[in-house]
Structure 1
């Protein structure tokens, strides 16, 4: 149910963003995009630090250092080899051309990455699946509502289709969490959250136009902690 509320919030916010877009100049739109990127980067860094720094025996220490680096490196190798970023863009462009739709690619891909790879998407969906409540997903829905409205104001109607991605992605995690609750350990959730936060930082950098990062090619990194901990459980 939490994921359905999340998707509905994105749809409503997209329409509101498109309405507001009519009164925004190009200069204001660029400023909004930069500010959104700055805010997203700061929030993601905070979420990463929350999971990365722990207190042990009264002293600060870090966790998952090597796993994070290895996951990112292996993930980007796989992502670049498959070239997920190009395949996603090509697919959306083909849909645009086939059905004579307005430009959708940038809005759809940007919004999908923001709404799906963050820590709240993963932990919220798992909590919902384990019967621990929808609080995290409700909070995420509010944040996504604001973000979707801002995104739609300068990226257009493509943002609305990210609601489908949220339904499929978070819904799948929720369902899997119900059947694989024994494997949803705090270590796996924490590792996924940290890598998801790093990807959000990369998206923020893209929005600020500091450097173009193919964030979609980093998505396989999210699978590495799962594989690592499952192998540990087996052996």
Structure 2
């Protein structure tokens, strides 16, 4: 199977960052704000479509509940934040800070790490990569590429072309997930795949709410639900 979604997504980040760095402060603040809300709306819309494909509602709900409890207990989101923060030294060596009238050195690094988490560890990206590996459908990552192109452009207007470097960890993570998921194809049924897609849809809805500032779902703590969705789906059909 040929995996193309991660490469498309990485290219979109690089192009968006280059254009955003070139535009700089010429990107109006109202446009930045409204585009962010539109990103959240698109994420929720995709989530609703994916959730509607559910084959077993109880399996979907159980996966989200148990996965979220597990994520909260192991403090997954906090761990991801710490892992990303520990890369500040590497970022500082690879991307020397250029003086900015609006950002201090520490603010630059903090924002860069936050953007790296946003791109690399989003529920949409992780679900999209796994979904392409199992189904060959790259549409989720292509839609994410549209969103990431404009997001990278907006952040690069402030942080500069350094935002383009984020394509490296994101592409590597998505490729690992996609090719790992390829190996699951012989083991899964259409119903398991549908329930997996529905759980991914729930993550995308939660992501949309967070982007829009409606409520700050700890989306990373829900990620274990993706890995539980198919086993729970199979067990539900076996016993019920």
| Paired residues for 1:13-162 under 5 Å | 13-24=16-27, 27-28=29-30, 32-36=32-36, 38-53=37-52, 63-97=55-89, 100=92, 102-103=108-109, 104-112=112-120, 113=122, 116-118=125-127, 120-128=128-136, 137-138=141-142, 140-153=144-157, 159-160=163-164, 162=166
> CA-to-partner distance for each residue in 1:203-227, whole Å, 9 max, x for gaps?
2222222222221111111111122
Query: In the aligned structure 1, how far is the partner of 2:163 from the partner of 2:196?
Result: 24
> CA-to-partner distance for each residue in 1:18-54, whole Å, 9 max, x for gaps?
33343245x43xx524542x32343333333334436
CA separation of 1:92 and 1:48: change in aligned 2, threshold 3 A: closer
Structure scoring higher RCO (CA < 8 A, sep ≥ 6) equals 2
> CA-to-partner distance for each residue in 1:99-151, whole Å, 9 max, x for gaps?
53642221011122165145x444334344xxx7x676556544543343245
State the shift of 1:78 in Å.
Answer: 1.2
Query: In the aligned structure 1, how far is the partner of 2:115 from the partner of 2:151?
Result: 12
State the shift of 1:179 in Å.
Answer: 3.1
CA separation of 1:65 and 1:198: change in aligned 2, threshold 3 A: same
CA separation of 1:154 and 1:210: change in aligned 2, threshold 3 A: farther
Q: TM-score, normalised by structure 2?
A: 0.71
Q: Show structure 2 runs of 5+ residues with no match.
A: 96-107
Residue 174 (structure 2) aligns with: 170
Q: TM-score, normalised by structure 1?
A: 0.73
8 Å Cα contact 1:107/1:156 also seen in 2: no
Please state whether the residue corresponding to 1:213 is helix, strand or coil.
coil
Q: Does 1:12 align with 2:18?
A: no
Residue 98 (structure 2) aligns with: none
Residue 58 (structure 1) aligns with: none
Aligned length: 219
CA separation of 1:142 and 1:205: change in aligned 2, threshold 3 A: closer
Residue 59 (structure 1) aligns with: none
8 Å Cα contact 2:16/2:150 also seen in 1: yes
Query: In the aligned structure 2, how far is the partner of 1:96 from the partner of 1:199?
Result: 28
Query: In the aligned structure 1, how far is the partner of 2:204 from the partner of 2:141?
Result: 17
Please state whether the residue corresponding to 1:22 is helix, strand or coil.
helix
8 Å Cα contact 1:108/1:161 also seen in 2: no
Q: Show structure 1 runs of 5+ residues with no match.
A: 55-61
